[in-house]
Amino acid sequence: MQNRQLGTFPVSAIGLGCMNICHAYGAPVSEAEAERLLRAALDAGVTHFDTAALYGFGVSETLVGKYLSADRSRFTLASKCGMQGVDVTGDGKLVRVIDGRPETIKATCEAALKRLKTDVIDLYYLHRWDKQVPIEDSVGALSDLVRAGKIQAVGLSEVSATTLRKAHAVHPIAAVQTEYSLWTRNPEIAVLDACKALGTAFVAFSPVARGFLCGEMDVSRFDAKDIRRSMPRFSPENYAANAKLLPGYFAIAHEVGCTPSQLAIAWLLHRGDHILPIPGTRTAAHLLDDLGAADVALSADVMARLDALINQHTVVGSRYNAQGNSEVDTEAFAV
């Protein structure tokens, strides 16, 4: 596995997003399956593991800590604060809350360190910018955590180039994490270039377009808790329109000699050396397929054909619904 720079950390070019084992795409996998996936990733040479307080309201961090802490020196650990589960009514039921106040960030970090069974988190992101709190205040709290030795580097998730620059003026931003794939091109508006100019790594989540680029699916059979049910691109009518892009895409994968998921991740790797994809998965088999993308070489002609086939003009539907769009700070293409 080739390496790329994540701030000061050399990490595997392809990392592992640890959301899917307990969050977002229906019922979580069993703990044994989660352990199998995490250990398989480490054994396969993955040295970049990405989790968050939000995922399973602490479950993902707990599993990473339980099964990987004994090998802590072998990988770079990233997690996130600023969006987590909170018991707002006192009945024990947790709800997702965005809270970027300094005191909340510091408390979330302390809880994360315990769940992760570590003394320090290598890269700690603000999961969402709480627009009720100046970004300078939230990043200031993260900077305090660096000085306290609780975290080593600061990251931001789903922010614009303007917000990145404001934050970077307070404390160096090691990485920006945002959805990026053939069908989500928002980072190309400004933040990719801003990252390159500032020496900030760009971490691409959902590199296989939330499964869209892996193969045709029946959106009517999504689990009731699958977050894609609320995403406009996966509505039955929009998905039917978007699925028309897949035969041409699969044909290119066949021509290149790789799987569809490998093609999607390889496209990202070819977009820039400062781009680090973190596919998420629930199985070791899918993980190993994803990692094969590191060995896929794409010609300029293939890259151009992929760009022309799947982009912001050919994909139907917003990536988030109205609420989701209101919670992010990323640039967006005009509709």
3-state class of 279 per DSSP? coil
Please give the pLDDT value at position 1.
81
Query: Does the residue 132 lie in any domain?
Result: yes
Query: Does the residue 335 lie in any domain?
Result: no
Boundaries of domain holding 160: 3-327
Q: Tell me the two tokens of residue 25.
A: 């795409």
Q: Tell me the two tokens of residue 62.
A: 């707990």
What are 263-307's pLDDT values in tens digits? 999 999 999 999 999 999 999 999 999 999 999 999 999 999 999
Query: Does the residue 332 lie in any domain?
Result: no
What are 231-275's pLDDT values in tens digits? 999 999 999 999 999 999 999 999 999 999 999 999 999 999 999
Query: Does the residue 24 lie in any domain?
Result: yes
Query: Does the residue 334 lie in any domain?
Result: no
The CATH code of the domain that includes 90 is 3.20.20.100
User: For residues 161 and 310, what is the distance between their CA atoms, to the nearest angstrom?
Assistant: 24
Residue 74 has pLDDT above 80, yes or no: yes
Residues taking part in catalysis: 55
User: For residues 280 and 189, what is the distance between their CA atoms, to the nearest angstrom?
Assistant: 25
pLDDT range class, residue 309, cuts 50, 70, 90:
very high
Query: Does the residue 222 lie in any domain?
Result: yes
Q: Please tell me the total count of domains within the chain.
A: 1
Whether the CA torsion 94, 99, 119, 36 is positive or negative: it is positive
User: Do 253 and 293 contact (CB within 8 A), yes or no?
Assistant: no
Query: Does the residue 333 lie in any domain?
Result: no
Query: Does the residue 157 lie in any domain?
Result: yes
